[in-house]
Amino acid sequence: MAAIQTPKFNYMNAGQAIAQGNQNALAQMQMQQMPEQLQMRRDQNQFRKDQNQNTLASGRMSAMLKGLDYMSKSARMVNDQSTYEKWGSDLVDKGLMKPGMLNPAYSPEYMSQVMGTVNNKIKESFGPMGPIPGSPGLVGQRENTSGKYSNITKVKASPKPGDIDPLAPWAKVSDPKEIDKAKIRFGSSADKQVEKMFKEAEQGQLMNSRLDRFVQLNETNRTGAEYNIPLVGAAIGGARGLGDSEFQEMESITSALTPQMRQGLPGAASERDVQMFRRATVSVGKNYEANKNISNGLKAANQNKIDRANFYAGYRDSRGHLRGAEKEWKEYLKANPIFDLEKDDYSLNGNRKTYEQWKEQKENPQQAEPQQNTPSGVTSFDPITGKFSDE
């Protein structure tokens, strides 16, 4: 963003406006004599929307904000003796102040008389602030002598009920400045959460490569329930592993995947799926078909991670926050479990839908059911008996 130049402020005219005690006159003077300052404020507001809290706290922005604050204060007070005398003499010449009221000592009594005199003159010349006929978006102060309007300001239209996101953290906030602050704060928090999800999705792809490697090795290396038999299985597996590098690699893959299975893949599967994943993973103690079936289930969970990250990112982009996102995502997971709900084994759910399919059907229930996205001929594995059977 280009550096914002601070315009020169006419302190003489500002002093006159303050002496008159008319805040609207001051606003009019600023509108007429300081378009650069107003543009600077608009640029500042845009800058606030485009930058996060850290950028706003930078030295350049802090200096600019302090400068704006100083200019605002300077427009409300005059603390220089020569300036006081100049605008005081001008008021005397215009008949707004009696000569005896010009007191260099800044007497509160005299200043009170100045304010009273000027306010009476203003009341005689201007009518009250109110809507301008034919322009409902504007209010102004009508000048009685000419019928013209001065001090015109834009009235911000109230947002329609449909334009307000009821889930937004700032839904009940009325102050525009506080709304902007809330959008920055919650938007930044949402960005961090989405970034974390994409990192988890990347880790899921690493798991997929390990699963594919295990299944590839399992195609040419016999595995089965005999390796789960206490002592005997350990003896057989240990003896085989001494000279079988592929068998050792399969066991190492299982060791690497086991900690993740104990965590249950939170956020990537339904509660029931989580329990299923905690009970077992691919291993030499299961036959090839069972390992392949479990591998497909885990890969489906990892695809959920990608879908979840994309869903949350889109939710944040459209709403500016993530309130309500978790509820909707859990609703999808519950409606589309990875494993068959009717069986207590590792049979895959043949009717499972992607998030996009589920969302489309939810929004358009009259449309035909999407085709099943799981291949036919799905097999099941009983983790208790270690047996595999065709559907």
The per-residue pLDDT for 305 is 87
CA distances from residue 94 to 12, 13, 16, 19, 89 in whole angstroms, order as listed: 15, 14, 12, 13, 9
Dist CA 282 CA 390 (whole Å): 18
Q: Which of 74, 105, 111 is nearest to 91 (CA)?
A: 111
Mean pLDDT check: name the lowest of 98-102, 143-147, 291-295, 355-359.
143-147
Q: pLDDT band at 99, cuts 50/70/90? A: low
- pLDDT for residue 302: 87
Across all residues in the chain, what is the average pLDDT? 66
More confident position, 336 or 57: 336
Q: Would you say residue 165 has pLDDT above 80?
A: yes
Mean pLDDT in residue range 156-175: 72
User: What pairing do the DSSP bridges indicate for beta strands 379-381 and 388-390?
Assistant: antiparallel
The predicted model gives 145-154 an average pLDDT of 47
Mean pLDDT over residues 209-216, rounded?
Answer: 92
Choose the most confident range, by mean pLDDT, from 175-179, 263-267, 272-276, 378-382.
175-179
When pLDDT is cut at 50, 70 and 90, the band that residue 78 belongs to is very low
Q: Label residue 222 by pLDDT band (50, 70, 90).
A: confident
Query: Is pLDDT of 254 > 80?
Result: yes
Rounded to whole angstroms, the Cα distance separating 6 from 226 reads 82
> Residue 387: its pLDDT value, please?
42
Phi-psi map region of 237: left, alpha, beta (phi>0 left; psi -120 to 50 alpha): alpha
Summarize the confidence of residues 114-142 as an average pLDDT. Answer: 54
Lowest mean pLDDT, pick from 58-62, 225-229, 264-268 = 58-62
Name the 3-class secondary structure at 4: coil
pTM > 0.85: yes or no = no
Task: Flag the least confident range among 92-101, 198-207, 236-245, 286-295.
Answer: 236-245
Taking the alpha carbons at both ends of the chain, their separation in whole angstroms is 64
Under the banding of pLDDT at 50, 70 and 90, the label for residue 329 is very high
| Per-residue pLDDT reduced to its tens digit, 9-54 | 444 454 554 444 444 444 454 444 444 544 454 454 445 445 544 4
> Between 144 and 248, whose confidence is greater?
248
- Would you mind telling me the total number of residues written for the chain in this entry? 391
